[in-house]
């Protein structure tokens, strides 16, 4: 089933931007400061769960999927992205990861085909309820989904008191993130802030780990 038209137009814009940005994306300072801490958290979550079949959704140039393959050596690792430019760089990075094209909301996997799904620094681009439901669909019972996402530090009660509703960048609060997971059927096993140096407090992201119940 094709995604609805407005979503397809948005996805086209996102895809074009990231194909254009792919050559700059791997700059060491950018990776080290912005992307690496979230990827470290996902590697730790995977290490604890020990899945056999893992997919990194919105894998970009493939840095995390390649790390998963080399550091954890599961049976199969997939990297999925919508952007041809990012996937071209990913294919050059590793012949061992299986690179696939597709949107997070319509993944190229059968029901129950995976044991873990992770995604890092891309959740704000997704149709979030649709993507989390899709993660649930492609996981086998007992499978794990781990998402790192930008999330405001303002506590929920303060947010309610202040009446702030403006959220153009789709940054869910911890409780909104929790609800996205439980609404899709997951049990939330862990949720905490990504550990970063104090001076990077402006980058405030959260890891949420959900497990698909076994029965
Ligand atoms: C900031 S990069 C993050 C890449 C990688 N996850 C990382 O941590 O380095 C965002 C990526 O999300 C991809 N993306 C955005 N929306 C997507 C969607 N709905 N489905 C699949 N990929 C998407 C873009 O093509 C881009 O490669």
Domain ranges of the chain: 5-211
Does 58 contact ligand 1 (Cβ within 6 A)? yes
For ligand 1, is residue 121 a contact (CB within 6 Å)?
yes
Which pLDDT tens digits describe the chain residue by residue (215 residues)? 455 555 667 777 777 776 666 666 566 655 566 678 899 999 999 999 999 999 999 999 999 999 999 999 999 999 999 999 999 999 999 999 999 999 999 999 999 999 999 999 899 999 999 999 999 999 999 999 999 998 877 665 555 555 555 454 578 989 999 999 999 999 999 999 998 776 566 658 899 999 999 97
pLDDT of res. 170: 74
pLDDT of 13 reads 75
Query: Which pLDDT score, from 0 to 100, does residue 122 have?
Result: 93
Q: In 5-164, which ranges are continuous DSSP H helix?
A: 5-25, 28-30, 36-49, 63-67, 84-93, 128-138, 156-162
Residues 107 and 90: their CA atoms lie apart, in Å, by 18
95 in Cβ contact with 121 (< 8 Å): no
In degrees, rounded to 5, the angle at the alpha carbon of residue 93 between the alpha carbons of residues 88 and 97 is 90
The response to whether residue 145 sits with its C-beta less than 6 Å from ligand 1 reads no
Chain mean position to CA 58: 6
Fold for the domain defined by 5-211: Rossmann fold (3.40.50)
Of 16, 18, 120, the one to substitute when testing ligand 1's pocket (max ligand atoms within 8 A of C-beta) is 18
What's the pLDDT at 48? 96
> Could you tell which of 7, 13, 17, 60 is best to mutate to test the pocket of ligand 1, judged by most ligand atoms within 8 Å of the CB?
60
| pLDDT for residue 200 | 60
Res 128: pLDDT: 95
**Per-residue pLDDT at 18:** 65
* pLDDT of the residue at 27: 61
């Amino acid at each position: 089933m094709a995604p609805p038209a407005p979503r397809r137009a948005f996805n086209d814009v996102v895809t074009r931007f990231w194909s254009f940005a792919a050559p700059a994306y791997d700059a060491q300072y950018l990776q080290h400061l912005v992307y690496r801490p979230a990827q470290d958290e996902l590697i730790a979550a995977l290490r604890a769960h020990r899945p056999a079949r893992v997919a990194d959704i919105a894998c970009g140039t493939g840095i995390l999927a390649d790390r998963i393959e080399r550091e954890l050596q599961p049976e199969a690792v997939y990297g999925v992205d919508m952007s041809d430019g990012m996937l071209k760089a990913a294919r050059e990075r590793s012949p061992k990861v299986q690179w696939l094209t597709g949107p997070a909301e319509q993944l190229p996997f059968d029901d129950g085909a995976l044991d873990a799904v992770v995604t890092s620094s891309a959740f704000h681009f997704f149709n979030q309820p649709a993507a989390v439901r899709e993660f649930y669909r492609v996981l086998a019972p007992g499978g794990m989904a781990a998402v790192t996402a930008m999330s405001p530090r303002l506590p929920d009660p303060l947010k309610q008191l202040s009446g702030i509703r403006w959220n153009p960048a789709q940054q869910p609060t911890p409780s909104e993130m929790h609800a996205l997971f439980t609404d899709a059927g997951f049990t939330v096993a862990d949720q905490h802030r990504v550990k970063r140096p104090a001076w990077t407090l402006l980058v405030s992201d959260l890891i949420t780990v959900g497990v698909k119940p076994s029965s």
